A and B are shown apart, each in its own frame.
Chain A
Amino acid sequence: GAGVSQSPSNKVTEKGKDVELRCDPISGHTALYWYRQSLGQGLEFLIYFQGNSAPDKSGLPSDRFSAERTGGSVSTLTIQRTQQEDSAVYLCASSRRTGVYEQYFGPGTRLTVT
């Protein structure tokens, strides 16, 4: 079946512009996660959605970052007034639900802020 998809695969933007990154999770997966990964580093948790519960936003680095998940499926991560330090690969993952279930990751969006 289809895996997690993300778009765009690459995004180059100018400092100060807003960007939207999209994630399509695996159908039926109720849990969705956003991470970012800087070059050579491990993953940094950003935000987590589980079903209709309020998302856990504790990993968002600043109020310029926000995310929503519509209809329990597609999610959009928005970064306002981008800064150069926002440059990273943004990864989305989904899992059947919370708990000890494997996460399935998308290929990521590489964001470059110039």
Chain B
Amino acid sequence: DAKTTQPNSMESNEEEPVHLPCNHSTISGTDYIHWYRQLPSQGPEYVIHGLTSNVNNRMASLAIAEDRKSSTLILHRATLRDAAVYYCIPGDSNYQLIWGAGTKLIIKP
């Protein structure tokens, strides 16, 4: 199983972009990189996933390093509602994802 390293917490100002880093140096060639977030007192919600190419959706962008040993989740314009714990999870199936402690994102108004 790929091991991930994420900052314990990050702070950002409202309406500014946020870059959440994740190191996954032991990722295998078939592992996707999944990102989920968990708002306070809620179940996690899917954010985005990718394999090699950068990915965009309505919530965020995912930038994957060329060697795939790291990735960055980008929130283009953070709002207070984006305050959550963000989990970066490598895995080749959503079946056996190993969840770490994630990064707690604090948004300052």
Contacts and interface: CB of A to CB of B under 8 A. Distances in A.
A94 to B, nearest CB: 10
Interface residues of A, number: 27
Contacts of A99: 93-95
Interface residues of B, number: 21
A105 B43 contact: yes
A5 to B, nearest CB: 11
Interface string A28-71: 00010101000011111100101000001000000000000000
A40 B99 CA distance: 12
Given A45-B96, A99-B93, A104 B46 contact: yes
Given A31-B95, A42-B87, A98-B93, A103 B102 contact: no
Contacts of B15: none
A91 B43 contact: yes
11 contacts: A4-B43, A33-B95, A42-B99, A45-B96, A93-B43, A98-B94, A100-B93, A105-B45, A106-B43, A108-B42, A108-B43
Interface of B: 32, 34, 36, 42-46, 49, 87, 92-102
Q: Which 8 A-B pairs have the closest CB atoms?
A: A105-B43, A42-B99, A102-B46, A43-B99, A105-B44, A42-B100, A98-B95, A100-B32
